Amino acid sequence: MFAPDTVVSLDRHDPLKRKRDEFLLPSDTIYMDGNSLGALPKQAKDRIAKVVEQQWGNDLIHSWNKHHWIDLPLKVGDKIAALIGAEKGQVIACDSTSVNLFKVLASALKVNSQRHVVLSQRDNFPTDLYMVQGMSEFLGDEACQLKSVSEELLLESLDESVAVLMLTQVNFRSGRLHDMQLLTRRAHEKGVLVVWDLAHSAGALEISLDKCEVDFAVGCGYKYLNGGPGAPAFIYAAKRHHPYMTQPLSGWMGHARPFEFEHDYHAGEAMLRFLAGTPNILSLVVLDAALEVFSQVDMAELRTKSLGLTELFINCVDSTPSLSDFELLSPRNKLERGSQVAYSHPDAFAISQALIAHKVVVDFRAPNIIRFGFTPLYLSYQDVWSASQVLIKIVEEQLYREPKYNARSKVT
């Protein structure tokens, strides 16, 4: 087990430790749920107050031009592009991940129109699978058909019937990290387009979309990007697809000339065609400000710290006999996991609730998984050490057996 003085030394030499001060965090809480909802950046709080009071409150509708509200989807998209290994002009911030996934799936299927199968992993995030199922029910199996297989069968399932390979880079349950470059290359060898869901990786590790020659990607704005609950999601589309990509949600903001109010639809240039309705300006403002915390952050350093935090926690659990009933679901090889660690336990729900009650915020995923999220920008090594000690206390004293920790709310 790591010695306490080692933990202190790790924090002392942490190149990202200054970033913690840029967030509003309860002083008595260890927040390990940034993989579900990122903490509030101070800049975001200040920015939204200014926008509400001055721009909306005083300048009103003039703000669309005066304060460039109309440009926010692309401005925010370019900031995200820098974090996911994409050149500018290939990312736009808008709508939700689910809606954006529908758009890029429709576009990819249109490009690969001679094929109809969308191949995915069986334990992919459910909404991704649901979107394909919904599209299949609407269009019919001859136009779109979901084929879901285990991770081990993904490569051998790539054949000439598959139009799109749709995967989440980091598995939401286990935290396992896919080899993006390998899977994308092997898919392309079979003429398959690839859509990556970056919800659990954007802002948490190095991503190289352009280098890996990814076709399309979507991602979430409210997890590691800290954009607030329900923050706008984003779409990436490789520029080589821009001349001929289309999407069916042809709303007025995706029009080439939205304020001409023409009778017929003419798609806007490049990423603008992925817009549909009016952008949610207040949410975009928050996300835009939140992304400023990544300024002067080396994503390689962020990844190194993430791996160090997860290694420390796993080591603490492994070296504690009273925690032997916890089954590690995340890969032991650190290079194969994202920025979360997942354990299964028969009393996972009650233990997670007891942890939360003792100011260590984690989350539970059915049927029996506790997820510990590690956000390198604001989590310290001391936080991780302290969280492990709280877990040990809860288990050894069987505090989780108290009835109040077994009462379930709507959101788990």
State CA 60 to chain mean position distance.
33
Strands 216-219 and 234-237, how do they pair?
antiparallel
- What is the per-residue pLDDT for 1? 62
> For residue 402, what is the DSSP state?
S
Q: What is the mean pLDDT of residues 314-339?
A: 97
- What is the per-residue pLDDT for 407? 85
Q: What is the mean pLDDT of residues 206-228?
A: 98
For the chain, state the CA radius of gyration. Answer: 22
- Residues 4 and 385: their CA atoms lie apart, in Å, by 8
- What is the per-residue pLDDT for 20? 97
- What is the per-residue pLDDT for 305? 98
- What is the per-residue pLDDT for 174? 97
Q: Is pLDDT of 221 > 80?
A: yes
Sign of the four-CA dihedral 12, 16, 18, 24:
negative
Contacts with 65 (C-beta within 8 Å, 6 or more apart), sequence order:
none
Sign of the four-CA dihedral 320, 323, 325, 329:
negative
Contacts with 299 (C-beta within 8 Å, 6 or more apart), sequence order:
83, 205, 206
- Residues 210 and 87: their CA atoms lie apart, in Å, by 7
Q: Which two three-digit tokens encode residue 53?
A: 């009071």
Q: Is 59 exposed, middle or buried (0-12, 13-18, 19+ CB in 10 A)?
A: middle
Contacts with 304 (C-beta within 8 Å, 6 or more apart), sequence order:
none
Total residues belonging to the chain: 412
Q: What is the pLDDT of residues 137-149, one digit of tens each?
A: 999 999 999 999 9
pLDDT band (50, 70, 90) for residue 412: confident
Q: What is the mean pLDDT of residues 5-27?
A: 94
Q: Is pLDDT of 4 > 80?
A: no
> Global pTM?
0.96
Q: Which two three-digit tokens encode residue 380?
A: 């310290």
Q: What is the pLDDT of residues 23-54, one digit of tens each?
A: 999 999 999 999 999 999 999 999 999 999 99
- Residues 129 and 122: their CA atoms lie apart, in Å, by 8
Backbone φ/ψ region at 288: left (φ over 0), alpha (ψ -120 to 50), beta: alpha
Residue with tokens 């002083």: 27
Q: What is the pLDDT of residues 238-260, one digit of tens each?
A: 999 999 999 999 999 999 999 99
Residue 109 host element (H or E):
helix 97-111
Task: Decide if 305 contacts 266 (C-beta within 8 A).
Answer: no
Q: Is 339 exposed, middle or buried (0-12, 13-18, 19+ CB in 10 A)?
A: buried
Q: Which two three-digit tokens encode residue 121?
A: 């992993």
pLDDT band (50, 70, 90) for residue 408: confident
Q: Which two three-digit tokens encode residue 302?
A: 């962020």
Query: Where do the domains of the chain lie, and which CATH numbers do they carry?
Result: 4-40+297-406 (3.90.1150.10), 68-294 (3.40.640.10)
What amino acid occupies position 399?
A: L
Q: What is the mean pLDDT of the chain?
A: 96
Q: Is pLDDT of 2 > 70?
A: no
Q: What is the pLDDT of residues 116-171, one digit of tens each?
A: 999 999 999 999 999 999 999 999 999 999 999 999 999 999 999 999 999 999 99
Q: Which two three-digit tokens encode residue 214?
A: 């990814």
Q: Which residues are catalytic?
A: 125, 197, 222-223, 371
Q: Is pLDDT of 6 > 90?
A: no
For the chain, give the percent of residues with pLDDT over 70.
Answer: 99
Backbone φ/ψ region at 191: left (φ over 0), alpha (ψ -120 to 50), beta: left
